[in-house]
Amino acid sequence: MGKVIAITSGKGGVGKTTSTVNLGAAINALGGDIIIVDANLTTPNIGLHLGAPIVPISLNHVLSNKAKISEAIYEHESGTKILPSSLSVKELKKIKPEKIPGVTKKLSKLADYIILDSAAGLGSEALGAIEGADELIIVTNPEMPAVTDALKTIKVAEELNKEIKGVILNRVRNKRSEMPISSIKEMLEVPILGVIPEDKRVQKALLKRDAVIHLYPKSKASRAYMNLSSKIMGKRNNNHEEPGFWQRIRLNLGLD
C-alpha cells in the first residue's frame, strides 16, 4: 500500500503547489513511484506549475463517478504521474471534496507515494484532502500570520487523528525580520522537515511551467527539495555535495 501525503497550509500562497510539484518530481527523480494529485478543486494549479496540458478527464470526473481513476492519470515527460483537476468554471458547482478519501484509498494501491496538493485554509476542500491522507506536511513561511494559521491546521488535523509528518519552512531569507526557526518550532511543536530558501529560480521555473528541480537542479531551492525528498523516502541523497559548515549545523539540529 502506498502512502498518501497531503501538502497543506493554513494561509494561502505559502508554497504548497511549489512544494508538491518539486517533492513529486524529486521523488520520481530518486526512483520513487509517485502520483501527484491536484486536490485543490476550485483553484487547481498543478497544471500551471508542471506544464500539464488541459485534459479531457480529470479528478472532478472521478469524484462524480464519470470516469475511472486510471483514465484520469497522465504522465509528465519526466515520468512523474499526475491526476489533475478541471480548470473549467462549469465544473465548480459540481465539486465533491467529501469523496476525496475514497479516491485516495484506491490511489494508494497504484503507487508508493501519493502527494495531494490541497487548498489553503480549513474549508471543505482542504478538509477533504486532510481526511484522505495518511500523513500531513504543513507548509508555512517564516512569518507570524502564516505560522499562526499553520498551527490551526495542525490542531484540526490532530483532532482528526491524522499523523503530522512535519513542516516545510518555505521562502526563508534568513532576515532579522523573519520569525526565527527556533520560535516556529516551539510554537508548532512538530518537526521542521525542511527549510527551502527564497530563490528566484522557483519563480523562473514557474514562468517556464516546469519544476525548479528539473530546470535548475543546482539551485538552492532544488537542493533543499532533493534533500527533503530523500528524507521522506528514508534514504540518503547521494546527489548533493558535501554539506558545508552551516548545513552541518542544521543537520545536527535536525533541520535538514
Tell how strand 3-8 and strand 113-117 pair up.
parallel
18 binds, among Mg ion, ligand ADP, none (CB under 5 to 8 A by kind): ligand ADP
Query: Residues 227, 235: contact at Cβ < 8 Å?
Result: no
14 binds, among ligand ADP, Mg ion, none (CB under 5 to 8 A by kind): ligand ADP
129 binds ligand ADP (CB under 6 A): no
137 binds ligand ADP (CB under 6 A): no
Query: CA-to-CA distance for 79 and 56, rounded, in angstroms?
Result: 20
Binding residue for ligand ADP, selected from 80, 85, 153, 170, defined by CB under 6 A: 170
Residue 106 sits at φ, ψ, to 5 deg, of -70, -40
Tell how strand 81-83 and strand 74-75 pair up.
antiparallel
76 binds ligand ADP (CB under 6 A): no
17 binds ligand ADP (CB under 6 A): yes
Query: Residues 4, 134: contact at Cβ < 8 Å?
Result: yes
Shortest CB 71 distance to ligand ADP, Å = 26
Binding residue for ligand ADP, selected from 65, 174, 183, 203, defined by CB under 6 A: 203
Query: CA-to-CA distance for 153 and 172, rounded, in angstroms?
Result: 21
Instruction: Enumerate binding residues for ligand ADP (CB under 6 A).
Output: 9, 12-18, 45, 170-171, 196, 198-199, 202-203, 206, 221
